[in-house]
Amino acid sequence: MELTYLQAVVLGVVEGLTEFLPISSTGHLTIAEHLLGLPVDDKAVTAYTAIIQIGAIAATFIYFARKIGRLVAAWVKGLSDNASRESHDYRLAWVVIVGSIPVGLVGFALKDVISGPLRSLWVVAAALVLWSAVIWWAERRHDALEASGTQRGEGDLTLRDGLVIGLVQCFSLVPGVSRSGATISAGLVRGINRVTATELSFFMAIPALTAAGLFELLDAWDDLKVLGAGQMLVGIVVAFVTAYASIAWLLRFVATNSLRPFVWYRVALGIILAVALGAGWISAT
């Protein structure tokens, strides 16, 4: 089965637009693959959804290049210089590292479940609706803390924040939950302001998506080759362009808006998907 260039473009656009929005890129890719007539439980198709994330990773690197470089430099310097360990960049780097470990361990341990039973549109529909309640609750928590003036910013982040957000990020392995939706919600509940929680979500995406993409590339290379090298490249490039635009837009949006509009979208999509599945208009896999 060879992927067409049109299918590659569509999947690249879906990945780029949804990777950093709290609406689940995996869930939307699963829906898009099904509508394009692709077997969503096929190993090559499953791997392709992880491979094109490389484009989104590249967009994150370039958009935050200066800040990422600063964090890496501070972390390296802090390993050998006690005074440098007091810098906020050094602490932030460790927050990202600690927060990235749980999803890597859980993802590796449950990779067969994630690429198998969880690749069902019923799972996507349920997760879209159920995790919306978590996002809504996180926003209410955010509003209460904002009103009381007890929110924390980037300079106040702790390793405990990183660990808690990292553990919650594991829920994003379920299609429909959303990695950004999980991490931003966890940040809001921890009392972190919305912009800082969103930026932290971007930084935590780098190791998580990089590891997933490289693992799938090595593990399913023979299966991926049948999809076409050119199609994979097109998907990655398109995902990069759309992801870069998505990052810029989301940062501007969360500066003055809540995540509640995404909740309504998630619930509506989940209900529509469940109705379509229940009526037999589409199959779950």
> What does the pLDDT look like over 69-87, one tens digit per residue?
999 999 999 888 787 788 8
Q: Check pLDDT > 80 for residue 229.
A: no
Average pLDDT of the chain to the nearest whole number:
88
Rounded to whole angstroms, how far apart are CA atoms 159 and 92? 8
Predicted confidence at residue 177, as pLDDT, reads: 94
Q: Check pLDDT > 90 for residue 4.
A: no
State the pLDDT confidence band at 1, using cuts at 50, 70 and 90: low
Q: Check pLDDT > 80 for residue 171.
A: yes
Strand partners, 152: 192
Q: Check pLDDT > 90 for residue 38.
A: no
Q: Cβ distance 33 to 11 under 8 Å?
A: yes
| Prediction pTM value | 0.90
Q: Cβ distance 51 to 217 under 8 Å?
A: yes
Q: Check pLDDT > 70 for residue 224.
A: no
Rounded to whole angstroms, how far apart are CA atoms 207 and 151? 27
Predicted confidence at residue 282, as pLDDT, reads: 84
Which whole number is the average pLDDT over 13-36?
Answer: 90
State the pLDDT confidence band at 160, using cuts at 50, 70 and 90: very high
State the pLDDT confidence band at 178, using cuts at 50, 70 and 90: very high
Predicted confidence at residue 225, as pLDDT, reads: 66
H helix runs in 116-228, sequence order = 121-148, 159-169, 179-189, 194-219, 221-225
Predicted confidence at residue 223, as pLDDT, reads: 64
Which whole number is the average pLDDT over 50-67?
Answer: 89
Rounded to whole angstroms, how far apart are CA atoms 114 and 177? 13
pLDDT cut 90: percent of the chain above it: 56
Q: Cβ distance 130 to 268 under 8 Å?
A: no
